[in-house]
């Protein structure tokens, strides 16, 4: 079913299965747009610890499923935002088996799957699904252009309920951009475009990591994304990136603070940096300014 971007796909899936007050298990840190959607719908996010290399902690998830009436598991297993990992296939299968055992739906956000740096692109959890409990959501917003706002959801057994949510929401999605994308794909341009984007984003990741290593304080921890265009950065445990952001705003620089990726306000010592744009000298100066400001704040905290 075609939607107005991936965000509508996720929202329609949630509204089709859950009501206000229901519990949704999410990977943590979790995309801040998901946090806002859950809050707006009056649903409760149950944050499950997540490994930066292998994804959501399945042991912690199983304990949560035993203790809480979880309605949906919502996660981004491929090129996760913000951590960048790709969950191994064996763990995707185990996750699906858990969902089957506890009869829970899975909403899978695969919006970054097509821009994994490896080939072939990683498999979705949906590709292992044989009873229709996985609702697969994605869009062209991250691969072609955000302004197109063309996404989709493959809702499995929840088709009728999701269709109803689409009908009472936006009703329909503009057809002209759909025709344009279809032509682009039909003539073979989409795969060529993806190959260029994968190479560019991987090069940008390496350069941005180099700058952070050079300009940020010693001990800074940086993720190693396997796709997409986000870096997750962890600073000293006592550091406050909200304070950092206030200082940077006066200098014309903005970051995504870690606390917006948690319903409970965790990850205050973390931040996310986007490297999708062309990495110019101006961008390098901005990264250098962030690193300098972090050092200045740390020195002021340590005292004379």
CATH of the domain at 79: 3.40.640.10
Please check whether residue 107 is in contact with residue 73, taking contact to mean a CB–CB distance below 8 angstroms: yes
Q: Write out pLDDT tens, residues 254-303.
A: 899 999 999 999 999 999 999 999 999 999 999 999 999 999 999 887 75
Q: Which domain holds residue 236?
A: 191-302
Q: Write out pLDDT tens, residues 144-180.
A: 988 889 999 999 999 999 999 999 988 889 999 999 9
**Percent of the chain scoring above 70 in pLDDT:** 99
Q: Which residue, 154, 185, 216, sits at the end of a domain?
A: 185
Q: How confident is the model at residue 216 (pLDDT cuts 50, 70, 90)?
A: very high
Q: Both 196 and 177 in a single domain?
A: no
Q: Write out pLDDT tens, residues 75-131.
A: 999 999 999 999 999 999 999 999 999 999 999 999 999 999 998 999 999 999 999
Q: Classify residue 171 as left (phi > 0), alpha (psi -120 to 50) or beta.
A: left
Which CATH number do you get for residue 200?
3.90.1150.10
Residue 248 CA to residue 25 CA, distance in Å, equals: 33
Q: Write out pLDDT tens, residues 10-44.
A: 999 999 999 999 999 999 999 999 999 999 999 99
Q: Both 29 and 150 in a single domain?
A: yes
Residue with tokens 């050079």: 214
Q: Both 21 and 161 in a single domain?
A: yes
Question: How many domains does the chain fold into?
Answer: 2
Residue 5 CA to residue 148 CA, distance in Å, equals: 8
184: how many CB neighbours lie within 10 A of its CB? 14
3-state DSSP call for residue 148?
helix
Residue 157 CA to residue 229 CA, distance in Å, equals: 33
Q: Phi/psi of residue 7, each to 5°?
A: -60, -40
Q: Both 125 and 223 in a single domain?
A: no
Alpha helices per DSSP H over the chain: 5-17, 32-40, 58-67, 89-101, 159-168, 175-186, 189-215, 241-249, 281-302
Q: Write out pLDDT tens, residues 44-91.
A: 999 999 999 999 999 999 999 999 999 999 999 999 999 999 999 999
Average pLDDT, the chain: 95
Model's pTM, two decimal places? 0.95
**Angle at the Cα of 27 (from 22 to 31), degrees rounded to 5?**
90
Q: Write out pLDDT tens, residues 288-298.
A: 999 999 999 99
Q: Phi/psi of residue 77, each to 5°?
A: -80, -20
Name the residue among 128, 175, 173, 168 with its Cα closest to residue 153: 173
Tokens of 132: 């229709």
């Amino acid at each position: 079913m075609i939607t107005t971007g991936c965000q509508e796909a996720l929202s329609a899936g949630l509204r089709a299965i859950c009501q206000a007050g229901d519990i949704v298990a999410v990977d943590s840190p979790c995309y801040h747009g998901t946090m806002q959607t859950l809050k707006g719908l009056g649903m409760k996010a149950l944050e499950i610890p997540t490994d930066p290399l292998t994804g959501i902690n399945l042991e912690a998830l199983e304990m949560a499923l035993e203790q809480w009436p979880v309605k949906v598991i919502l996660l981004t297993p491929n090129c996760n935002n913000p951590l960048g990992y790709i969950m191994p296939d064996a763990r995707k299968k185990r996750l699906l088996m858990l969902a089957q055992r506890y009869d829970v739906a899975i909403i899978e956000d695969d919006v970054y799957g097509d821009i994994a740096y490896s080939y072939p692109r990683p498999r979705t959890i949906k590709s292992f699904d044989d009873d229709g409990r996985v609702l697969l959501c994605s869009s062209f917003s991250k691969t072609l252009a955000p302004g197109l706002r063309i996404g989709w959801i493959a809702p499995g057994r929840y088709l009728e309920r999701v269709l109803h949510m689409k009908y009472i929401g936006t009703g329909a999605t503009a057809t002209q951009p759909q025709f344009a994308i279809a032509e682009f794909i039909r003539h073979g341009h989409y795969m060529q475009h993806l190959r260029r984007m994968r190479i560019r984003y991987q090069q940008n990741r390496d350069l941005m990591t180099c700058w952070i290593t050079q300009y940020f304080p010693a001990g800074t921890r940086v993720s190693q994304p396997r796709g997409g265009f986000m870096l997750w950065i962890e600073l000293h445990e006592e550091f406050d990136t909200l304070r950092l952001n206030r200082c940077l705003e006066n200098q014309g620089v903005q970051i995504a603070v870690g606390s917006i990726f948690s319903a409970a306000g965790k990850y205050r010592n973390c931040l996310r940096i986007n490297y999708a744009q062309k990495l110019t000298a101006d961008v390098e100066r901005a990264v250098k300014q962030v690193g300098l400001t972090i050092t200045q704040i740390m020195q002021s905290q340590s005292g004379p």
